[in-house]
């Protein structure tokens, strides 16, 4: 049987830029697992409107599915904000999305969300500020450079780190430095790839609606408008990064890029860990029947103890990532789970398209075995649906 899966990226993620596919590792692993089960899988990566509102992104997702699917079963997989796009498209009350683009919904079999901020993230509140918008653009272009080129723009990352460490009276000057650093990396990427990178950054500057919506206060209302569709399997995967330890910092001695990258990650981790007591990034048991003992047991097995509200993957609190059946939980950062982790093999012995690149050093020790078990869980859930 043939299946179609649609992959939606999230914060500072993308579908394809030039010859680089953000979901390449996920696509390869899912295709192999479907083939092993006797099925053919067609994969479609969504690459429009990176930080637009959830409704605009969901509308675009619906249009692409409508234009490319056939009469085969359909699966939606969203990473980060992309998971919210999938949930809104599938919701019985898909307000604001033209009905003509939703005629395929009876063929929808599953919705998979990976590290999705179902209940918001404190980091979004920071990105929604004027200064945070510059930081978001810088993080996005560093992600492009780090993953597509394997480049390590130390100067740009250092400027960004200084920006995240706190406010001071030199904001205008710091913004100029940050903008120049971004431009230098854009030049590097464009020389090696294409002007599509400029289009990607322009889209971020043009519409950052999702950053406003992803704050915990806003998601308190957004989630109230979502509902699961009957007959569709909802499954989630969650991860968190370990707290910084002295050993991690010792490992960066003599490696300037690794030191800056680790510091940058934990600056993001620290912002994400801040919780508002009135609007915690978590589901209350009365609000979600699935957020009960079974879910807590999976979390406890994965982490030896149930994670608290501050635990996060550097971008999204782990408690905010829960929705539907929890099929996988483990240590890993926001990008690790897509196959963007530190590869420990000999580069000369691996084809370039199979190499895993990691530009944010979180210290999670995510590896091939963890990625394989994660992909097993996702494919199994899709096929069962």
Express each pLDDT in 119-154 by its tens digit: 999 988 888 776 777 777 778 878 877 777 777 777
Binning pLDDT at 50, 70 and 90, where does residue 277 land?
confident
* CATH architecture of the domain formed by 2-122+226-384: 3-Layer(aba) Sandwich (3.40)
Q: What 8-state DSSP symbol labels residue 104?
A: T
Strand partners, 5: 43, 75
How do residues 69-82 score in pLDDT, each as one tens digit? Answer: 888 999 999 999 99
- The confidence score (pLDDT) of residue 254 equals 61
Query: What are the start-end ranges of the H helices in the chain?
Result: 24-36, 54-68, 81-90, 122-127, 130-144, 154-164, 171-192, 196-206, 209-213, 216-222, 246-250, 256-273, 293-303, 368-384
- The confidence score (pLDDT) of residue 279 equals 86
CA 5, CA 31: separation in Å to the nearest integer? 10
Asked if 47 and 16 count as a contact pair (C-beta separation under 8 A), the reply is yes
- pTM for this entry: 0.89
Q: What are the start and end residues of each CATH 3.40.50 domain in the chain?
A: 2-122+226-384
- The confidence score (pLDDT) of residue 103 equals 94
- The confidence score (pLDDT) of residue 286 equals 45
- The confidence score (pLDDT) of residue 176 equals 65
- The confidence score (pLDDT) of residue 72 equals 94
How do residues 293-318 score in pLDDT, each as one tens digit? Answer: 788 889 999 998 889 999 999 999 99
CA 137, CA 194: separation in Å to the nearest integer? 17
Count of alpha carbons within 13 angstroms of residue 313, beta-carbon side: 29
**What integer is the mean pLDDT of 26-31?**
97
């Amino acid at each position: 049987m043939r299946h179609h899966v649609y992959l939606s990226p999230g914060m500072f993620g993308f579908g394809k830029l030039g010859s680089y596919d953000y979901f390449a590792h996920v696509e390869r692993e899912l295709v192999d697992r479907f083939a092993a089960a006797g099925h053919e899988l067609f994969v479609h990566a969504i690459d429009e409107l990176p930080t637009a509102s959830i409704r605009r992104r969901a509308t675009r997702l619906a249009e692409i599915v409508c234009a490319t699917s056939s009469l085969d079963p359909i699966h939606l997989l969203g990473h980060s904000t992309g998971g919210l796009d999938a949930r809104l498209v599938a919701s019985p009350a898909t307000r604001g999305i033209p009905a003509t683009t939703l005629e395929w919904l009876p063929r929808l079999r599953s919705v998979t969300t990976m590290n999705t901020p179902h209940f918001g993230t404190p980091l979004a509140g920071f990105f929604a500020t004027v200064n945070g918008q510059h930081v978001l653009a810088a993080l996005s272009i560093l992600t492009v450079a780090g993953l597509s080129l394997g480049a390590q723009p130390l100067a740009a990352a250092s400027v960004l780190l200084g920006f995240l460490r706190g406010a001071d009276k030199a904001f205008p000057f710091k913004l100029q430095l940050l903008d120049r650093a971004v431009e230098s990396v854009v030049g590097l990427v464009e020389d090696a790839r294409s002007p599509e990178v400029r289009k990607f950054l322009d889209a971020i500057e043009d519409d950052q609606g999702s950053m406003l919506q992803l704050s915990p206060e806003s998601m308190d209302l957004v989630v109230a408008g979502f509902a699961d569709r009957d007959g569709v399997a909802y499954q989630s995967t969650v991860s968190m990064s370990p707290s910084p330890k002295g050993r991690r910092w010792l490992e960066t001695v003599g490696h300037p890029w690794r030191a800056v990258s680790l510091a940058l990650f934990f600056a993001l981790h620290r912002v994400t860990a801040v919780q508002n007591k009135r609007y915690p990034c978590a589901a209350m048991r009365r609000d979600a029947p699935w957020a009960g003992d079974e879910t807590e047991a999976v979390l406890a097995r994965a982490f030896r103890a149930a994670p608290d509200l501050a635990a996060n993957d550097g971008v999204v609190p782990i408690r905010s990532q829960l929705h539907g059946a929890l099929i996988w939980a483990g240590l890993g950062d926001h990008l690790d789970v897509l196959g963007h982790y530190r590869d420990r093999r000999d580069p000369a012995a691996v084809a370039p398209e199979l190499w895993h690149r990691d530009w944010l050093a979180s210290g999670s020790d995510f590896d091939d075995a963890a990625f394989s078990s994660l992909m097993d869980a996702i494919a199994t859930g899709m096929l069962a649906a």
